[in-house]
């Protein structure tokens, strides 16, 4: 999947993102507080809608192309019920969910869904009465014309590896290990699964040793003090670990001239995040859209250089939408892929960088960016 255009509005919070055009790699730059993180969050909001969520006061328009080359335009709006200042219980929440005001879905220029508040026309015919609080992309997700859009929008992925390895939860689905081993016998099956990345790595090490070796070598290139990686149960005394975790595979690294393996709970956050980001480049599904906020968080300069290089070199059908303040990342990514984000009250705009004549002097593009008042203040100059 590749998103080409995106608009979003949250009427309850009175902020609006004007049309944003996206490349295969887009770097959002701008002052703190202008709305870069909100842009990523609003994209994830669309994924929630495809999964059945009702988002109060939200309006959107997105243009995208699926892996099967279907071109969709999807737009819609939920009613604005105002900002709630009270925490409601689950029953009240279900009763008070915002309803769809309108929804449209176009496929290759032809309208296939035309929805008003009280009726849905699908492929030219009215449907039976369906929930007014749920998108058609969720309600009719098994329909042949809608399924590609639903499946590809689910590939929006907010990549957050800021936590250390010890803070990450366990996937208890591994308790049925024998069935999982039968299920994930190929790289493609692993990529298309919804397993956590450490478990994907585990099955990869069993079924595709070549790809696992590539990921391991890239990690060793970045951290030359490391000589090996394995994903296996931790060898420990019987009473040191609960029974249900004794067979669970944990990431472990072996450093040169060090006898014992370093288990997952003791791996530094920078090393762990680097391994996860490297792994996801190989183990995510084709068509994944990576949303990465403050890309440099928890990464050392050596990691930043290498991970940025791997993203730029990837030949897979992936899309990346990043935010960053780090000079190396901004300078390493061609300024043609930058979008300068500005904000005026509740209106967020993004700007192609060529309008500011960046790239037409001998100074680095990042140094030229620093001189822009729009970058310094976050305000668009009139």
Determine the pLDDT at residue 161. 57
Largest pairwise CA distance in the chain: 71
CA angle 293-295-301, nearest 5°? 160
pLDDT band at 164 (very low <50, low <70, confident <90, very high): very low
Residues 42-61 have pLDDT tens digits of 999 999 999 999 999 999 99
Model confidence at 179: pLDDT above 80: no
Flag the least confident range among 90-104, 169-183, 248-262: 169-183
Determine the pLDDT at residue 167. 47
| Beta carbons within 8 Å of 29's beta carbon, 6+ residues apart | 36, 323, 324, 325, 330, 338, 339, 340, 341, 369, 375
Handedness of CA 209, 210, 215, 217 (dihedral sign): positive
Mean pLDDT score of the chain: 89
CA angle 187-189-195, nearest 5°? 100
* Rounded Cα distance, 38 and 55, in Å: 15
Give the pLDDT mean for 105-127: 96
Residues 320-340 have pLDDT tens digits of 999 999 888 898 899 999 999
Pairing of the two strands 226-232 and 156-158: unpaired
With contact defined as beta carbons under 8 Å apart, do 230 and 261 qualify? yes
* Rounded Cα distance, 212 and 274, in Å: 15
With contact defined as beta carbons under 8 Å apart, do 152 and 67 qualify? yes
Determine the pLDDT at residue 300. 79
Give the pLDDT mean for 138-149: 97
Calculate what percentage of the chain has a pLDDT beyond 90: 66
Flag the least confident range among 10-14, 159-163, 164-168, 247-251: 164-168
Give the pLDDT mean for 175-187: 77
CB burial string 1-37: b at 16+ within 10 A, e below = bbbeebbbbbbbeebbbeebebbebbbbbbbeebbbe
pLDDT band at 170 (very low <50, low <70, confident <90, very high): low
With contact defined as beta carbons under 8 Å apart, do 30 and 37 qualify? no
Residues 344-353 have pLDDT tens digits of 999 999 999 9
Model confidence at 228: pLDDT above 60: yes
| DSSP code per residue over 135-195 | -HHHHTTTSTTTHHHHHHHTTEEE----S-GGGSPP-GGGGGHHHHHHH--SHHHHHHS--
Calculate what percentage of the chain has a pLDDT beyond 70: 88
Determine the pLDDT at residue 210. 97
* Residue, of 96 and 321, whose pLDDT is higher: 321
pLDDT band at 24 (very low <50, low <70, confident <90, very high): very high
Give the pLDDT mean for 223-242: 82
Give the pLDDT mean for 196-219: 95
Model confidence at 75: pLDDT above 70: yes
Handedness of CA 259, 263, 269, 274 (dihedral sign): positive
């Amino acid at each position: 999947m590749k998103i080409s255009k995106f608009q979003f509005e949250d009427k309850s919070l009175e902020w609006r993102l004007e049309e944003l055009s996206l490349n295969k790699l887009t770097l959002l730059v701008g002052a703190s507080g202008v709305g870069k993180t909100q842009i990523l969050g609003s994209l994830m909001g669309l994924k929630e809608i495809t999964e059945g969520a009702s988002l109060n006061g939200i309006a959107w328009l997105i243009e995208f192309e699926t892996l099967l080359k279907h071109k969709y335009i999807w737009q819609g709006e939920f009613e604005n019920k105002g900002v709630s200042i009270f925490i409601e219980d689950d029953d009240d929440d279900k009763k008070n969910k915002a309803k769809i005001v309108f929804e449209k879905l176009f496929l290759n220029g032809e309208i296939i869904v035309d929805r008003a508040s009280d009726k849905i026309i699908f492929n030219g015919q009215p449907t039976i009465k369906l929930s007014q609080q749920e998108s058609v992309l969720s309600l009719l997700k098994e329909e042949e014309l809608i399924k590609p859009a639903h499946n590809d929008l689910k590939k929006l992925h907010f990549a957050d590896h800021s936590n250390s390895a010890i803070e990450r939860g366990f996937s208890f689905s591994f308790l049925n290990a024998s069935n999982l081993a039968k299920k994930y016998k190929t790289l493609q099956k692993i990529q298309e699964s919804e397993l956590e990345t450490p478990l994907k790595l585990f099955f990869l090490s069993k079924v595709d040793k070549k790809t696992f070796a590539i990921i391991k070598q890239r990690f060793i290139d970045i951290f030359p003090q490391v000589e090996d990686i394995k994903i296996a149960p931790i060898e420990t005394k019987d009473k040191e670990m609960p029974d249900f975790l004794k067979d669970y595979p944990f990431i472990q690294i072996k450093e040169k001239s060090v006898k014992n393996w370093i288990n997952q709970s003791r791996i530094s956050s920078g090393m762990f995040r680097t391994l996860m980001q490297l792994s996801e480049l190989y183990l995510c599904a084709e068509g994944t859209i990576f949303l990465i906020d403050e890309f440099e968080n928890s990464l050392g300069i050596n990691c930043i250089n290498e991970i940025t290089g791997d993203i730029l070199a990837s030949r897979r059908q992936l899309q990346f939408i990043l935010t960053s303040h780090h000079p190396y990342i901004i300078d390493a990514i061609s300024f043609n892929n930058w979008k300068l984000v500005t904000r005026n009250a509740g209106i967020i705009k993004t700007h192609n960088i060529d309008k500011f004549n960046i790239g037409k002097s001998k100074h680095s593009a990042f140094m030229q960016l620093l001189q822009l008042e729009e970058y310094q203040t976050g305000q668009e100059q009139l």
